[in-house]
Amino acid sequence: MPRIRMYSTTWCGYCIRAKALLERRGLEYEEIVMDDDPAFRQKLLDMTGRWTVPQIFIDDEPIGGYTELWSLERDGRLDDLAA
């Protein structure tokens, strides 16, 4: 099973949707909540080139946020990445 990591905040609606999608699919993930880190946007930018949450990694490869996760699901490619 792949390692899925998600950087999120508790107040982000897209983070909630991403978690729900992963949970609905039965995919385990590690959530790193960034609420208490005032520099979290800079850290995300350094890691991914993006500063928004969620930022999702599958096997240490950044895939993007909820929209990209949903697109992978819609196109049936999440199964390939999750295998």
- Rounded to two decimals, what is the model's pTM? 0.90
**Cα–Cα distance measured from residue 54 to residue 80, given in angstroms and rounded to the nearest whole number:** 21
Alpha carbon of 38 to those of 6, 59, 61, 81: distances in Å?
18, 26, 24, 32
Q: Which tens digits make up the pLDDT trace of 47-58?
A: 999 999 999 999
Q: What is residue 1's predicted lDDT score, i.e. its pLDDT?
A: 67
**Cα–Cα distance measured from residue 14 to residue 9, given in angstroms and rounded to the nearest whole number:** 10
Domains and CATH numbers, the chain: 4-82 (3.40.30.10)
CB atoms closer than 10 angstroms to residue 19: 17
Q: What is residue 80's predicted lDDT score, i.e. its pLDDT?
A: 80
- What sign has the CA pseudo-torsion 45, 47, 50, 51? negative
